[in-house]
Homo-oligomer: A and B are copies of this chain.
Amino acid sequence: MKTQELLRDKKLKVTPARIELIELFKREKKPLSYEDIKDTINMDRATFYRNMNKFEEVGLFSVFESNSKIRFFEFKLTPHAHFICIECHSIECIKSLDIKLDGYEVHNMTIKGRCKNCTL
């Protein structure tokens, strides 16, 4: 769906900041934090966070916290788990795990540990 439609569909105003964010995350296809993209985006920190929180509320994005309390945002395509390495801080999308759990409404699943490189 086109970005503008996406926003209208969720009854959100179409603004340059929102378009920029959604298009960036659609392109990147991976979880990013404010720190990761602050230099490439053209808006205030508050605007970034307010929009990302809205996007999560309406179900466009998924969000999770890494080690050391940093929030990562990802444009929601197919639901999947994330692996966060506590050593190199890399993040990997894990598509091989089923993220369902009977009786619960699962929003995300994160696994922390040491990644393939860091266990060598």
Interface residues of A (CB under 8 A from B): 64-65, 67, 69, 83, 86, 94, 97, 99, 101, 103-116, 119
Contacts and interface: CB of A to CB of B under 8 A. Distances in A.
Given A65-B67, A67-B65, A101 B97 contact: yes
Q: Count this chain's copies in the assembly.
A: 2
A20 B69 CA distance: 27
Contacts of A105: 113-114, 119
A52 to B, nearest CB: 14
Given A65-B65, A65-B69, A107 B101 contact: no
A86 B111 contact: no
A9 to B, nearest CB: 23
